[in-house]
């Protein structure tokens, strides 16, 4: 069981979750600033206004990464620091560009490879108000391409670019359930606007086209000189049938992955949406034009994989409601025999099941022709962690075991199953603003004391990864 000698590993974060400095150096508001200001949207009424104050602590964060032995760091750029209003004809903010240029230079000087995500959900609020943001098929892809070009030009030293993080979350949680910004949903008790049956599919389509435009721009005008690579990061869970003897449950397992991952990956690798989605959604799923197919198909130099958990899947009889987004099925933690998929965490949706990681890596590798892959997020919360003493929090043996089990499962997928994984980025470098859950849930390998000046305290899990990877990565 081993990993290739040039295997990269490290940690991941996102701009709105850690940076803070919401009004520093010309940053404009994002949809998350607006969403957090609405009472009741965030569990503890908080926001990312201060977060971990990482914008002002880049040297401290790099020092932390170096002390942990990381060889890679995935972070995202706040679009509103670069173009505060967001659009291709709006002013560019040089101070924002300068901040990230220096950060990349400092990371490279420390021997750490940057993985830059261009979009981790914090859309400029100006674009949402101007033309509906992700729902605009004409304007959004052009504005995203312009923003992407601005970054490619500014940071030629970056060798690993990610266009979008988890477009499923932007589309479903932003435009179906309303759980995430901008909060659209058909439930009028939660939002005055939204069409849960149609808007998520429109949003997802426009993200794919924007991704395709950015990739074409990079390949045409920057990659020949810079020599880097570009891809997208998709999220999805492993699936097992609730009743292995029921063909409908077995079939539903693939359908669940198709509605989560293949929704975006099939157009990128095959040029069309999955048949299961076309069958259920009909004309609510947008149709690709010939020009869009040319942009999207083949637009991945690598596949970015975010993965956390697994479920038992039970099919549903009858016809799906219009606002269904799972593929007409139930996701469960117990199967027909009463077996539990894994222990509880602080996150209602997350239970560790490391074999699922290996199985899903194999599923993706088989379906998409053994693509080069990076695991761009993987990690766990810990039940009740936020209520523990600091002494207990830093002894996070549950998280240590999670990483050990999952990384070894990945190594088996590589060495025994032939899956082409080139890097692993643990979520997350530090506790942070956990979106709608605010600061009540912690995913970090480093404890952040939000009360006492955001002071960082590495947990046991932070120090566990270097020795683990030292045993797995080939030396010669």
CB-based burial, 111-120: b 16+ in 10 Å, e otherwise: ebbbbbbbbb
Confidence of residue 400 (pLDDT cuts 50, 70, 90): very high
Across the range 440-467, mean pLDDT stands at 98
Pairing of strands 421-427, 446-449: unpaired
- Model confidence at 1, in pLDDT bands (50, 70, 90)? confident
Query: What pLDDT is stored for residue 352 in this prediction?
Result: 98
Which residue in 28, 20, 137, 11 sits closest to 71, CA to CA? Answer: 11
Cα dist. 240→219, 255, 274, 377 in Å? Answer: 38, 11, 20, 21
Across residues 355-376, what is the average pLDDT? 98
Q: What is the mean pLDDT of residues 117-140?
A: 98
Domain presence at residue 376: yes
Residue-wise pLDDT for 48-98, tens only, equals 999 999 999 999 999 999 999 999 999 999 999 999 999 999 999 999 999
pLDDT (average), residues 104-111: 98
What does the pLDDT look like over 256-272, one tens digit per residue?
999 999 999 999 999 99
**pLDDT per position as a tens digit, 248-259:** 999 999 999 999
Q: How many domains does the chain have?
A: 1
pLDDT 10s digits, 4-61: 999 999 999 999 999 999 999 999 999 999 999 999 999 999 999 999 999 999 999 9
pTM of the model: 0.98
Average pLDDT in the 187-216 region? 98
Whether 391 maps to a domain, the answer reads yes
110 lies in some domain: yes
- Active site (catalytic) residues: 166, 377
> With pLDDT > 90 as the criterion, what percentage of the chain qualifies?
100
pLDDT of residue 314: 98
For residue 85, what pLDDT is reported?
98
Which CATH number covers residue 219? 3.20.20.80
3-state SS, the chain, equals CCECCCCEEEEECCHHHHCCCCCHHHCCCEHHHHHHCCCCCCCCCCCCCCCCCHHHCHHHHHHHHHHHCCCEEEEECCHHHHCCCCCCCCCCCHHHHHHHHHHHHHHHHCCCEEEEEEECCCCEHHHHHHHCHHHCCCHHHHHHHHHHHHHHHHCCCCCEEEEEECHHHHHHHHHCCCCCCCCCCCCCCCCCCCCCCCHHHHHHHHHHHHHHHHHHHHHHHCHHHHCCEEEEEEECCEEEECCCCCHHHHHHHHHHHHHHHHHHHHHHHHCCCCHHHHHHHHHHCCCCCHHHHHHHCCCCCEEEEECCCEEEEEECCCCCCCCCCCCCEEEECECCCCCECCCCCCCCCCCCCHHHHHHHHHHHHHHCCCCCEEEEECCCCCCCHHHCCHHHHCCCHHHHHHHHHHHHHHHHHHHCCCCCEEEEEEECCCCCCCHHHCCCCCCCCEEEECCCCCEEEECHHHHHHHHHHHHHECCC
What pLDDT sits at residue 413? 98
Q: Is residue 1 part of a domain?
A: no
Residues 323-331, mean pLDDT to the nearest whole number:
98
Domain that holds residue 95: 8-472
Residue 2 lies in a domain: no
Average pLDDT over residues 382-392: 98
Q: Is residue 346, in this structure, part of any structural domain at all?
A: yes
Establish if 115 belongs to a structural domain: yes
- Summarised one tens digit per residue, pLDDT across range 159-201 is 999 999 999 999 999 999 999 999 999 999 999 999 999 999 9
Higher pLDDT, 454 or 1: 454
In a domain, 232, yes or no: yes
pLDDT interval class at 327 (50, 70, 90) = very high
Residue 154 confidence class, pLDDT cut points 50, 70, 90: very high
User: Tell me, what's the pLDDT at 476?
Assistant: 80
Predicted local confidence at residue 265, as pLDDT: 99
């Amino acid at each position: 069981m081993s990993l290739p000698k040039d295997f990269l590993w490290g940690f991941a974060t996102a701009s709105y979750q850690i940076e803070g400095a919401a009004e520093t150096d010309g940053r404009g508001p994002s949809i998350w600033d607006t969403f957090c200001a609405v009472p009741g949207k965030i569990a503890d009424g908080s926001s990312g206004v201060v977060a971990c104050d990482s914008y002002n602590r880049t040297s401290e964060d790099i020092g932390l990464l170096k002390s942990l032995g990381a060889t890679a760091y995935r972070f995202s750029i706040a679009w509103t620091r670069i173009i505060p209003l967001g659009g291709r004809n709006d002013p560019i903010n040089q101070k924002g560009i300068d901040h990230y240029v220096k950060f990349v230079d400092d990371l490279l000087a420390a021997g750490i490879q940057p993985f830059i995500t261009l979009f981790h959900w914090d859309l400029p609020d100006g674009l949402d108000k101007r033309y509906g943001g992700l729902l605009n098929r004409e304007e959004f892809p052009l504005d995203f391409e312009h923003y992407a070009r601005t970054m490619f030009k500014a940071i030629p030293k970056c060798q690993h670019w990610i266009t979008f993080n988890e477009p499923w979350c932007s589309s479903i949680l932003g435009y179906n359930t309303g759980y995430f910004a901008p909060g659209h949903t058909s439930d009028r008790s939660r939002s005055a606007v939204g069409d849960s049956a149609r808007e998520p599919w429109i949003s997802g389509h426009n993200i794919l086209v924007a991704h395709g435009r950015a990739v074409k721009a990079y390949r045409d005008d920057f990659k020949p000189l810079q020599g880097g690579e570009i891809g997208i990061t998709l999220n999805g869970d492993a699936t097992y049938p609730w009743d292995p003897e029921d063909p409908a449950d077995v079939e539903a397992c693939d359908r669940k992955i198709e509605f989560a991952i293949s929704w975006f990956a099939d157009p990128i690798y095959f040029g069309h949406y999955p048949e299961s989605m076309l069958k259920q959604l009909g004309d609510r799923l947008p149709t690709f034009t010939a020009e869009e197919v040319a942009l999207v198909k083949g637009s991945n130099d690598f596949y970015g994989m975010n993965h956390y958990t697994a479920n038992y899947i039970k099919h549903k009889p009858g016809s799906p409601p219009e606002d269904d987004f799972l593929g007409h099925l139930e996701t469960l933690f117990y199967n027909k025999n009463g077996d539990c998929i894994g222990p509880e965490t602080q996150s209602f949706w997350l239970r560790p099941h490391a074999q699922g990681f290996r199985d899903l890596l194999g599923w993706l590798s088989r379906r998409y022709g053994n693509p080069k892959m990076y695991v761009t997020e993987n990690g766990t919360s810990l039940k009740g962690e936020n209520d523990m003493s600091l002494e207990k929090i830093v002894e996070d043996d549950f998280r240590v075991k999670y990483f050990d089990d999952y990384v070894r499962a990945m190594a088996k997928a590589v060495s025994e199953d032939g899956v082409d994984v080139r890097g692993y980025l643990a979520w997350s470098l530090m506790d942070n603003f956990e979106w709608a859950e605010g600061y009540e849930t912690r995913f970090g390998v480093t404890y952040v004391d939000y009360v006492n000046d955001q002071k960082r305290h590495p947990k046991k899990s932070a120090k566990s990864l270097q020795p683990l990877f030292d045993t797995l990565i080939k030396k010669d």
